[in-house]
Amino acid sequence: MTAPSPPLASRTQEPAWVRRTLIGAALAFLGAFLLLPLAVVFAEALKKGLDVYLAAIAEPDALAALRLTLLAAGIAVPLNVAIGLAAAWSLAKFRFRGQNVLLTLIDLPFSVSPVIAGLIYVLLFGLQGWFGPWLKAHDLQVVFAVPGIVLATVFVTFPFVARELIPTMQAQGTEQEEAARVLGASGWQILRRVTLPNVRWALLYGVILCNARAMGEFGAVSVVSGHVRGVTNTLPLHIEILYNEYQSAAAFAVASLLALLALVTLAAKALVERRLERAPPVTDAAPERASSAGAAVAFDRTALAS
Amino acid sequence: MSIEIRHLQKRYGATIVCDDLSLDIRSGELVALLGPSGSGKTTLLRLIAGLEAPDAGSVAFHGEDDAGADPRAQRVGFVFQHYALFAHMTIFENVAFGLRVRPRATRPDEATIRRRVHELLALVQLDWLADRYPHQLSGGQRQRIALARALAVEPGVLLLDEPFGALDAKVRKELRRWLRRLHDEMHVTTVFVTHDQEEAMEVADRVVIMNRGRIEQAGSPDEVYDHPKTPFVLQFLGDVNLFHGRFGHAPGGAIEAGADGAHEEVSYVRPHELQILAAPAADTLPVTLSQVLTVGTQARIEFRRIDDGSYVDVEMPRSEFAALTARSGLGIGSRAWLKARRVTRFSASAAETAVDPAAMI
Amino acid sequence: MASPAALAPAGVRRAPARARGPLSRALLTRTSVLPGFDLSLGITLFALGLIVLLPLSAAFAKTATMSWPAFVGAAFSPRVLASYRLTFGASLAAASVNAAFGLLVTWVLVRYPFPGRRIVDALIDLPFALPTAVAGIALTALYADNGWVGRWLALAGIQVAYTPLGVFVALTFIGLPFVVRTVQPVLQDLPREVEEAAATLGANRAQVFMRVILPALAPALLTGFALAFARALGEYGSVIFIAGNLPMVSEIAPLLIVTKLEQYDYAGATAIAVVLLLAAFTLLLAINALQAWARRREAA
């Protein structure tokens, strides 16, 4: 009698010691590269004590920087939501020539270095730029002033909302909207009553990402800002100034605010992701496309803060 | 290679998926594991393959060449429901895979591999697809490649998990016939899982009917259909009419709801085992004709019992029914009397089948 | 003869026939009853043109005004070349490290349940969510000679802060999530059956990994690598604090752009910018091609 076939479990799973080693290595890598930097922000911020920490945050220039950061985000996010919705509506619910080209173009700001993003606005609106003389003649200033900061922020956050909405809306197909249309709904009614409720989590996800990047943007804003304390500084720029003046504890104090924002962003992302996974997309498309919605959300990671 | 399964037990959490299963599969046999979903048939297949480990019991393989104990004869070939082809490899490489991963000592040389792969591809009539990728093939083609891949390593046993489940009806029928022919040519011990009784009955030498983790009956297709051992088998295979009480055993034609000891009697009659009479006779059931459906060459006639209003189905060839209605003027609402040519009853010990010899035509 | 509209019961609005706008007429390849195409596409094109394309074209227009020798001089002077070497070299190295460790992290996250996995999974995105300036000063504090990590490395004679090595570390940090997030869904969706099939055919675990799992992950892995590489090329905020910013030694290309801007050398800055933009766009095309390749290979 020949021996019975050995179970194939050993060929479909790694031995326990391999597993434990890999887990250890992965966690060590992540700990070194993720946790340490996060920890050092708070450690350095509180190094000189709690009162120095609070003073740094409450300082007028810091507060002004906070206001400007909120202003820039407050304009950039809603603007990009509107543009993102428009782009997603046209790309997801229709078929037209040049769709792929448009998708690639929308993605452009992702591949552009933030410094270059700032540079091009200087080229456009700076004194020697295309619109420079016109602006000077009308006594308007864009670069080295608040409008420039807002513009640069809008540029770098341009694709975020669109990239979250497009795959979700594509996966959901057009049947519901067409049904609403046949029942007599106008375009705005369809958008408000049918489409938006279906994509609300993807939209929220895009807003979270867009906001995080808008508030954290550094390179682009640094180029167009005049670095005038209290006027044309956002929080990241303020951090830079403090750091370069060797006010390290104050710099980390302000940085800790942004780090907290980052953690809140991560938590919000995780929560929304759970919602997106749980609610199956209402789809008339083939099952593969339904799963691609979840995958698309997972795929959509690129430069957030710079 | 034959398979000896003894007292296999497997549970997932609190559910017992395989309950004390014992089965012998002869070398070269083609066996179907048939049952509803949740019956444990796929788990049994995976236990045989070694993809799962049993909680208790054993699976033993007996090679024809016991003394040689050729390790290759122990190799079990497995074909998955969704093919599980390697998407990044060509068809050729897919089929060659099992040969390529052999340890250096037993690995055949390139020329041998090439020859064998082309042999197998020719066997499944897909030699012309050798350089394509799986995503370029149809479902039926992919399944045939999956089979060729499993056969490449010359397994002693071939296991197929709902091999045609993901294909549409016409392709399924073709592949069924093709599998049978392939088996007749290769004589590899084959076990396949299906929930489609037509498939099992058409293809297999022996059918093993499973329900809730247990084997209800194992036998040839004719055997399990004509001589079911349990009510489940009878009801699972084909249609059947159920009557409470003994059909046709009381004089006078009515059904007696009797008690056989502590159990209530249940009689089973298949639709084609009922005869329609235009006038009352001994051991008949009074009914009215409620609906007639013609499906292909068969007529399915639905009757309503006069005594309790329940429905009884009768099946007969269309031509026969047409002749009957012409003769007796039977129509919707007409009175009729049903006589059973054959009644199956199960007692606690064994199935009892009563046949009316006079009605055997 | 009553018109269909008159026959419709009162109170039921029939979908009005729409006039098709110019964009619909020109571009739609499939008619649709849905409204709003012209408006939505119009808004999109307008915003895209104004916010993205117009400013970007300013850069190319600017370099077009330069003579070829002037452009070459500005874009490929020794100092600029040194910055390219550093930027491209460190980005490549960082992306490679991220590819290797990213694969490890993804494997562990997907295949091994361990306590706290959910939290670790959420934290992977930290380099995305954290503003680069914050990351920059944090990494500098960590790797400076008196920093938590720096002091140990100093004992071994390795200096990280204010050297090209620091640039490499910063770029590794910000590229970390790319590989993980691109490989994760692919690994999650990899059917176990394929691994089981390989096992039943006689492959041992190492062979299953090398011949079946890894090739299936290859497109996603490469895409993640390319994304990390592209991001690293343009990175500014996380790097300038930890780099020494010494010309010819530890100066990254984006910093050089800023320096030239501050000196009002717009032409010089733009020339470097154009080189970086062309590299980025090439990478973008490569990434698109990789993703198309990955989609083609899906599912058998």
Question: Mean pLDDT by 10-residue block, N- to C-terminus, for chain B (361 residues)?
Answer: 91 89 93 92 91 87 55 72 89 92 86 93 91 92 93 90 88 90 90 92 94 93 91 89 69 44 73 88 86 91 88 92 88 89 73 44 34
Q: Which helix (H) or strand (E) holds B242?
A: strand B241-244
Q: Which residue has the higher pLDDT, A61 or A278?
A: A61
CB < 8 Å to B76, chain A: 5
Of C51, C178, C235, the CB nearest to A158: C51
Q: B142–C299: do the CB atoms touch at under 8 Å?
A: no
Q: Is the pLDDT at A300 greater than 70, yes or no? A: no
Task: Report the pLDDT value the prediction gives residue C62, as an integer from 0 to 100.
Answer: 85
CB–CB contact C205 A13 (8 Å): yes
Q: Does C218 touch chain B (CB under 8 A)?
A: yes
| Backbone torsions φ then ψ of B67, nearest 5 degrees | -65, -40
pLDDT at residue A291, rounded to an integer: 35
Q: Percent helix, strand, coil in chain B (nearest 5)?
A: 30, 35, 35
pLDDT at site A116:
94
Angle of helix A50-58 relative to helix A248-278, nearest 10 degrees, comes to 80
Check CB contact under 8 Å for A2 and B74.
yes
Instruction: Give me the pLDDT at residue C16, please.
Output: 52
**Res. A132: pLDDT tops 90:** no
Instruction: Give the model's pLDDT for residue B61.
Output: 85
Rounded Cα distance between C145 and C147, Å, is 6
C-alpha–C-alpha distance, residues B236 and A201, integer Å? 47
The predicted complex's ipTM stands at 0.84
Can you say whether the dihedral through the CA atoms of B120, B123, B129, B135 is positive or negative?
negative
The whole-number average pLDDT for the span A174-180 is: 87
Separation between Cα atoms, residue C238 and residue A236, nearest integer Å: 11
Residue given tokens 């029914």 in the structure block:
B321
SS3 B199: helix
Specify the DSSP class assigned to residue A291.
H
Chain C positions in Cβ-Cβ contact with residue B143 (cut-off 8 Å): none
Kindly tell me the burial class for residue C157, based on how many C-beta atoms sit within 10 Å of its own C-beta (0-12, 13-18, 19 or more). exposed
Q: Does the beta-carbon distance from A299 to C131 stay under 8 Å? A: no
Taking contacts as CB-CB distances below 8 angstroms, the residues of chain B near A7 are 50-53
Find how far residue C285's CA is from the centre of its chain: 12
Rounded Cα distance, A306 and C112, in Å? 33
At residue A273 the predicted structure's pLDDT band, cuts being 50, 70 and 90, is: confident
Stretch among A212-221, A294-303, B124-133, B190-199 having the lowest mean pLDDT: A294-303
pLDDT in tens, chain C (300 residues): 444 444 545 555 555 555 678 888 888 888 888 888 999 999 999 999 999 999 999 888 888 888 888 888 889 999 999 999 999 999 999 999 999 999 999 999 999 988 989 899 999 999 989 999 999 999 999 999 888 989 889 888 888 889 999 999 999 999 999 999 999 999 998 988 999 999 989 888 889 999 999 999 999 999 999 999 999 999 999 999 999 888 888 899 999 999 998 888 888 999 999 999 999 989 988 888 888 887 777 644
Report the neighbours of B using a cutoff of 3 or more CB pairs below 8 angstroms.
A, C
A26: enclosing H helix or E strand = helix A16-30
Residues 103-132 of C with CB under 8 A from A: 104-105, 107-109, 112, 114, 118, 120-132
Of C201, C218, C297, the CB nearest to B97: C201
Nearest CA in chain B to A5: B74
Nearest chain A residue to B74, by CA: A5
Nearest to B53 among A2, A3, A7 (CB): A7
With beta carbons under 8 A apart, name residues in chain C contacting A12. Answer: 192, 195-196, 199, 205, 208
> Taking a contact as any Cβ pair under 8 Å apart, which residues of chain C between 42 and 71 contact chain A?
43-44, 47-48, 51-56, 58-59, 62
Digit-coded pLDDT (tens) for A73-96 = 999 999 999 999 999 999 999 999
Q: B243 forms bridges with which residues in the sheet? A: B267
Cβ contact (<8 Å) for A4 and B61? yes
Number of C-alpha atoms within 13 angstroms, CB side, residue C140? 22
Across the interface, do A301 and C33 touch by the CB < 8 Å criterion?
no
Distance CA C200, CA A11 (A): 9
C296 to chain B, any CB pair closer than 8 A? The answer is yes
pTM of the model: 0.81
- B73 and chain A in contact, CB less than 8 A: yes
Is the model's pLDDT at A49 over the cut of 90? no
Task: Write the CB contacts of B216 (distance below 8 Å, at least 6 apart in sequence).
Answer: B35, B209, B210, B229, B230, B232, B233, B236
Size of interface A-B (CB pairs under 8 A): 35
Cα angle B50-B54-B56, degrees, rounded to a multiple of 5: 140
Q: If phi over 0 gives left and psi between -120 and 50 gives alpha, with beta otherwise, what is residue A49?
A: left
Which of A1, A2, A8 has the CB atom closest to B50's CB atom?
A8
Measured in residues, chain A has a length of: 306
CA geometry: angle A134, A135, A139, nearest 5 deg: 120
pLDDT tens digit sequence for B230-260: 989 998 998 888 887 776 554 333 444 444 5
CB contact under 8 A, B61 and A6: no
Helix (H) or strand (E) holding B284: strand B284-295
From the list C276, C241, C76, C224, the residue with the least C-alpha distance to A117 is C276
| Mode of pairing for the β-strands spanning B30-34 and B206-211 | parallel
Q: Three-class SS of residue C262?
A: helix
Alpha carbon of A7: minimum distance to chain B alpha carbons (Å): 4
- Segments in chain C forming alpha helices (H): 4-7, 22-27, 37-47, 54-64, 68-75, 78-111, 117-123, 126-129, 132-143, 150-155, 164-189, 192-200, 205-208, 214-234, 237-240, 253-262, 266-296
What is the model's pLDDT at position A172? 86
Q: What is the mean pLDDT of residues A175-188?
A: 86
**CA–CA min distance B166, chain A (Å):** 15
Q: Measured at the alpha carbon of residue B260, what is the angle toward residues B255 and B262, in degrees to the nearest 5?
A: 130
Q: How many CB atoms are located within 10 Å of the residue B349 CB? A: 6
Give C269→chain B minimum CA distance, Å. Answer: 45
Residue A152 has pLDDT above 60, yes or no: yes
Q: Do C196 and B86 count as a contact with CB atoms less than 8 A apart? A: no
Nearest chain A CA: its distance from B1 CA (Å): 10
Mutation test of the interface with chain C: which of B46, B91, B101, choosing the one with the most C Cβ atoms within 10 A? B101
Other chains touching C, judged by 3 or more CB pairs under 8 Å: A, B
- For chain A positions 8-27, those within 8 Å of chain B (CB to CB) are 8-9, 12
Chain B residue with Cα closest to A9 = B51
B158 close to A (CB below 8 A): no
The Cα–Cα gap between C278 and C76 comes to 14
Strands B189-194 and B157-161, sheet pairing: parallel
Out of A106, A186, A236, whose CB is closest to C48?
A106
Of the candidates C163, C185, B265, the residue with the CA atom closest to the CA atom of residue A297:
C185
Contacts of A276 by beta carbon, 8 Å cutoff, 6+ apart: A201, A202, A205, A293, A294, A297
Q: Are A123 and C59 in contact (CB under 8 A)?
A: yes
State whether A4 and B58 contact (CB < 8 Å).
yes
> Residue type at C134?
V
d(C-alpha B12, C-alpha B1), whole Å: 30
CB contact under 8 A, A4 and B66: no
Which residues from C are below 8 Å from A107, CB to CB? 284
